[in-house]
Structure 1
């Protein structure tokens, strides 16, 4: 029996020595990275296929710079129409853009594009207001009603989708702001497009101008301005 114990004990000790790790020193090193909000102006993208950049044929002014920006807003054109005595409804022309990949011109719904690259996920709100009634010199198109319809949201990003208003009736008299898109906390990060109409077909009837029949109408060019306001947090 004594010989057996003398053979077994050295074996156990040897196995413990082989399987153990000995720590001689500990040292900590740092890993750092800084993320900054984007400051360049973001180019417009196709509102139907947002992964593809486009160049508007009749662009508005450049987008706003900074990490929270309005990248692009379509100008609204109603074209030429004859003066009539009845109440009339007119629909805006589609936006015409040039595809960057093949140079082809296509019609897309009118749209607004917003980018949030702040990195704080606080959310934002986009409003629009009409700066007065359509005018032709001193002639005012009294009672004309501009309405934005069928807002559809799309994004090349993977953030959480914000909310949108579907029937935006602008008030040219009070100039009151109307909500277009609303991103709560953790929503609306990256680039988001609000297009008026899901496609070109629906887009043809998604921005309308109604003019009462008894409004005095004079020959000439009528115009007004829309003011788009991007708030850095929802209210």
Structure 2
């Protein structure tokens, strides 16, 4: 029996007063491709107890934005909702850095943007996590206005879990650039015997990580050097250089909101 869980996020970009701000909205749904019936018994206890700190997986946390996870034994528990830092609109090639993942927990600072996957199937056969950009950024007001040539990229990917690292899914050591809209890109792969339990696949890391990862998070400050705060959390915001959006200078940019759709897909193997 093959199953796929797709978690789709709408990523928006707002151009106002020569500032570039990115917004999002999300939708979650599950799809079963071959709905036959089976029963199985497993000694894998489904933790099912929330989202884990990607740098300290024994700790349950509450991300600022949450998604409704499926109840499948193989599932996506959490997917990043991406929001990009602001910058001046220019006719030069530009690169915009994502805001790091924030949490409602008082003692948890920002983290790299991450996706959490769980596999508690009775007969695990491995899994494949993929990402696809469904369309180029499109202006929601002015028909036909798109950000031609804009490219999202994901770097510094790594995994973490309460499980031993020898069972870790494998991630790309190269930068993943979504250069072709509609093409599906591999993010992580677990062979037979790998990826069981709950795993975080994270892009970037804080300077507090104990996993020997190079820090990619930088605190946000204004032109006067004062911290830029998240008013809903009363915490300083951070950027994460592991996730970026590149826009060619020649791309025409109309005022308004631009949106695209990112689809995260988890599939059973083989």
Specify the TM-score bucket, using the shorter chain as the normaliser: 0.7 to 0.9
RMSD of aligned residue pairs (Cα, Å): 2.0
C-alpha displacement of 1:37: 6.8
Which TM-score applies when normalising by structure 1?
Answer: 0.77
Structure 2: state its 5+ residue gaps. Answer: 1-40, 208-214, 218-239
Give CA-to-partner distance per residue, 1:51-84, whole Å, 9 cap, x none. Answer: 111111123x212221101000111111332211
Counterpart in 2 of 1:109?
112
Higher relative contact order, chain-length normalized (CA < 8 Å, sep 6+):
2
- Larger helix share, 1 or 2: 1
Count of residue correspondences = 196
Q: Any conservation in 1 of the 2:86–2:96 contact (CA below 8 Å)? A: no
Counterpart in 2 of 1:124?
127
Query: What is the alpha-carbon distance in structure 2 between the residues aligned to residue 73 and residue 124 of structure 1?
Result: 16
2:216 is the alignment partner of 1:202: yes
Specify which of 181, 184, 187 is matched with residue 177 of structure 1. Answer: 184
Counterpart in 2 of 1:165?
172
SS of 2:83 mapped into structure 1: coil
2:112 is the alignment partner of 1:76: no
Counterpart in 2 of 1:27?
none
Specify which of 187, 192, 197 is matched with residue 199 of structure 2. Answer: 192
The structure whose Rg is larger is: 1
- Larger strand share, 1 or 2: 2
Q: Any conservation in 2 of the 1:162–1:188 contact (CA below 8 Å)? A: yes
Q: Any conservation in 2 of the 1:38–1:67 contact (CA below 8 Å)? A: no
Give CA-to-partner distance per residue, 1:20-47, whole Å, 9 cap, x none. Answer: xxxxxxxxxxxxxx53777785521111
Question: Which piece of structure 1 moves more, 221-230 or 109-118?
Answer: 221-230
Q: Any conservation in 1 of the 2:85–2:96 contact (CA below 8 Å)? A: no
